[in-house]
Structure 1
């Protein structure tokens, strides 16, 4: 049996050295190396979306891979692609790192400088483990066979552009279509998801921040099941505790949620932190809310440039949503697209303040009238980006899940 191997190596010299040895392994099929963590995850997600059998048996992660640290990357690969054997390549072969690598989900460790014998042994062991897992998964109808659920990050260009309203309605739309949905409030200092859905719950995302292994039972204890069926992971009541939620914690939390829910909607708020930057980076779809005014559009442009500079997300991988749109405004979606250099969603959200007032004041966004133009537009947006097959709202016909069009979620990212 041929063993497919995907190395993740950022350094060109290290990549050549590793490729030379991999080419000597019998019955092996090494792939071109992924140059960074983003490219690795994107490649695995693309392959997993086709079939479990398309995934490589072995992934080799070099210690100097970036921008995500090697151990965090191993943890994410192990969580999202459990049928892949991950091996760490490192100069530190001490027991401390070995233990940390195993805790992160690695199946072995290869010391530097590389030796053929050790490489062959570790690759063979990881491949045998991966093959055993795949045989096991093949017998279980409910076992995860791909990258898990879809993550949709919703961010605002500035305060007051309707980020939380959009996130809540998108989650409700996905839930109404029959999917299991989690709504995560990562606006850690000023999150309002609980207020919009009339929820009083003492647990929050902070309760998961310090947990190394988030099991289904742990998630069940922290996630609040709303009357609509949404699973809510709320922001902390005390905003200062948001600092406890690190980027590493968010990666682990979103990875765990992916395997429990078909759709994970993340309200990222309007202020960029390490925590919500991870959500934007790892999301299958990133939506940036703006209103059609000069200040908001300029803020959207700044946000897109910030994401690009920090290698969080490219402009072409972002979908900008125009909220409170009117036909009479001078700033139309085409101009927003030109200024931000993003893709603009075809589903624009109309300015209809009176429709929202009663539901917002009562804290019951789930009771927003089905005839509301705002609700219809946001549920149509959910269909446009592939969150639902058709929006379950009178008067609007959605697109089929496979017909995502230019504003649908990207399937592969790389740098």
Structure 2
């Protein structure tokens, strides 16, 4: 059996040495080393989108990988892609690191510099373990694969641009389309998701920060199931508790959520912290909300450039949502796209504060009228982002699409133009760093399937 090996090493010299050694292994099919954690997770996700059988049997993680620390990266790979055997390469092979690596989900530890014999033995053991897991799964060729739920982050260029409004409406649109959705408030010191939806709950994301093994039961206790159909993981009521949620805790919580929900929508607020930067980095889609004025557009450009410097996300892989737009605005979406180098959503959200004021003041954003131009625009943007994709419903008109704004459910008549636009948007290509078409999903050719 040929063993497909995917190495990840941040150090160029280490990557070359590892590639040379892997090339000597019998029955091995090593891919070119990946330079960072983002590239590794993206590659695995693209491969898993087709079938678990397209994933490599073995992933090698060098201790100097970044920006996600090696043990955190191993934990995320093990949770999202359980049929892959992960092996850590480290100069420290002591019992403490060995125990920590095993707790994170690694299948072996190789000392640096690696010897041929040790590398061959660990790769073979991890490959045999991977093959056993895949036999145990017994997944048929046409069964759905994939890395679990999709993560979408919504951040604001500055305060007051409508970040939480957009995040809430995106989540409501996805839930109305029949997708199992959780909305996470990652604005840790000033989160208002609960206030916008008239929800008070004793638990918050801070209660999960110190838990290393987030079981389904623990997650269920922290998440509030709202009558809108959304699951909510709120920010702590005491802002100072937000410091308990660091980047490692944020990755751990979001990874646990994506294993349980189809869609994870995260309100990241307007400040860059270690926690929300980690979530933006691991997100499938990152949206940045701005308004068409000089101050906000400058803030949006500043945010995008900061993400790039921190190696969180590239500008071209960020979707800009323009809020409070009008055709008379001097700064139009095309100019914002040119200034920020981002991808601007095709549908701008109109300035219509009178529509919003009653429901915002009442803390009942879910009651925004279906005829609202703001709601129709935001739900259309949700369609552009692929958040409304759901399995075809044999029930026809009574399926998830019946809940979209503008639907004439009483008489079975036509939906409004905005609702039709939402439906027409359908699923779009996942906006990933380095993402390509289905013809370039990974370093190996797609394997044929029997039957």
Per the TM superposition, whether the score is higher than 0.5 is: yes
Counterpart residue number, 1:286: 286
* 8 Å CA contact 2:181, 2:263 repeated in 1: yes
CA–CA separation in structure 1 for the residues paired with 2:376 and 2:29: 49
Q: Cα RMSD over matched residues?
A: 1.8
Residue among 375, 389, 404 paired with 2:428: 404
Q: 1:351-407 deviations in whole A, cap 9, x for unaligned?
A: 0101111111111111111111110001111110100136812112125576527xx
Shift of 1:140: 8.7
Counterpart residue number, 1:273: 273
Alignment of structure 1 residues 3-402 onto 2, 5 Å: 3-139=3-139, 145-389=145-389, 392-394=404-406, 395=416, 396-397=419-420, 398-399=422-423
CA–CA separation in structure 2 for the residues paired with 1:311 and 1:202: 35
Query: CA 1:281–1:335 in structure 2 vs 1: closer, same or farther (change >3 Å)?
Result: same
* 8 Å CA contact 2:380, 2:425 repeated in 1: no
* 8 Å CA contact 1:45, 1:412 repeated in 2: no
CA–CA separation in structure 1 for the residues paired with 2:287 and 2:185: 15
CA–CA separation in structure 2 for the residues paired with 1:135 and 1:291: 52
- SS of 1:26's partner is coil
- SS of 1:146's partner is coil
Shift of 1:112: 1.6
Shift of 1:255: 0.6
* 8 Å CA contact 1:188, 1:239 repeated in 2: yes
Shift of 1:411: 6.7
* 8 Å CA contact 2:168, 2:193 repeated in 1: yes
- TM-score in terms of structure 2 length: 0.88
CA–CA separation in structure 2 for the residues paired with 1:338 and 1:140: 46
Shift of 1:259: 0.8
Of 6-15 and 345-354, deviating more is 6-15
CA–CA separation in structure 1 for the residues paired with 2:223 and 2:284: 22
CA–CA separation in structure 2 for the residues paired with 1:140 and 1:104: 28
* 8 Å CA contact 1:39, 1:413 repeated in 2: no
Shift of 1:138: 2.7
Moved over 6 A (4+): none
Query: CA 1:43–1:7 in structure 2 vs 1: closer, same or farther (change >3 Å)?
Result: same
Query: CA 1:400–1:45 in structure 2 vs 1: closer, same or farther (change >3 Å)?
Result: farther
CA–CA separation in structure 1 for the residues paired with 2:7 and 2:94: 22
CA–CA separation in structure 1 for the residues paired with 2:230 and 2:137: 28
- SS of 1:50's partner is coil
For structure 2, list consecutive stretches of 5 or more residues without a partner in the other structure.
390-400, 407-415, 437-451
Query: CA 1:400–1:111 in structure 2 vs 1: closer, same or farther (change >3 Å)?
Result: farther
- SS of 1:123's partner is helix
* 8 Å CA contact 1:284, 1:409 repeated in 2: yes
Of 165-174 and 65-74, deviating more is 65-74
Shift of 1:409: 2.4
Shift of 1:268: 0.3
For structure 1, list consecutive stretches of 5 or more residues without a partner in the other structure.
none
* 8 Å CA contact 1:208, 1:253 repeated in 2: yes
Shift of 1:144: 7.9
Q: 1:107-129 deviations in whole A, cap 9, x for unaligned?
A: 11011221111111111111111
* 8 Å CA contact 1:355, 1:372 repeated in 2: yes
- SS of 1:152's partner is strand
CA–CA separation in structure 2 for the residues paired with 1:136 and 1:371: 51
- TM-score in terms of structure 1 length: 0.96
Shift of 1:11: 1.6
* 8 Å CA contact 1:386, 1:409 repeated in 2: no
Aligned length, in residue pairs: 412
Shift of 1:19: 1.4
* 8 Å CA contact 1:205, 1:234 repeated in 2: yes
Q: 1:190-216 deviations in whole A, cap 9, x for unaligned?
A: 000000111110100001100001111
CA–CA separation in structure 2 for the residues paired with 1:302 and 1:18: 38
